[in-house]
């Protein structure tokens, strides 16, 4: 059984666990299955908007797809969620990613 199959088996037992959805999105992304990864990240933003790690990886995926405006919007939303949760590490990562994207656009 590969990692993705294992994660999906765990998800069967805990279908609303945000970490499992996040881990599956990450695994899809590693496997180059970006549509599936995108779907999982978006599911997380709708169903677990306070799961802050989602926003950084969602934004990075969108940048890779050439969707810089969408990435910027998700970085901004993630920054607000990170501030509300007082997750300083995530806040720093999101702010840095946002600045790099804005700098790259100039």
Find the CATH number of the domain harbouring 64: 1.25.40.10
Structural domain containing residue 50 = 3-105
Say how far apart CA 31 and CA 98 lie, in whole Å.
25
Residues constituting the chain: 106
| Structure confidence at residue 76 (pLDDT) | 98
Say how far apart CA 55 and CA 40 lie, in whole Å.
12
Say whether pLDDT at 106 is over 80: no
Say whether pLDDT at 97 is over 80: yes
Say how far apart CA 35 and CA 70 lie, in whole Å.
15
| Structure confidence at residue 104 (pLDDT) | 81
pLDDT, tens digit, 9 for 90 and up, residues 68-82: 999 999 999 999 999
Say whether pLDDT at 65 is over 80: yes
Contact 71, 100 (CB under 8 A): no
Say how far apart CA 94 and CA 78 lie, in whole Å.
7
The model's confidence at residue 58, banded by pLDDT at 50, 70 and 90, is: very high
- The answer to whether the pTM exceeds 0.85 is yes
Say whether pLDDT at 32 is over 80: yes
The model's confidence at residue 1, banded by pLDDT at 50, 70 and 90, is: confident
Domain count, the chain: 1
Say how far apart CA 21 and CA 41 lie, in whole Å.
8
- From residue 92, alpha-carbon distances to 80, 87, 89, 95, 98 in Å are 12, 9, 5, 5, 10
The model's confidence at residue 105, banded by pLDDT at 50, 70 and 90, is: low
């Amino acid at each position: 059984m590969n990692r993705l199959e294992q994660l999906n088996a765990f998800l069967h037992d805990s279908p609303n666990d945000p970490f499992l959805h996040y881990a599956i999105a990450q695994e899809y992304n590693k496997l180059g299955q970006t549509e599936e990864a995108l779907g999982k990240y978006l599911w997380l933003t709708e169903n677990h908007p306070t799961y802050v790690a989602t926003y950084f990886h969602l934004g990075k995926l969108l940048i890779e797809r050439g969707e810089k405006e969408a990435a910027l919007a998700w970085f901004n939303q993630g920054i607000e969620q990170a501030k509300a949760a007082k997750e300083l590490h995530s806040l720093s990562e999101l702010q840095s990613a946002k600045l790099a994207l804005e700098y790259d656009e100039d």
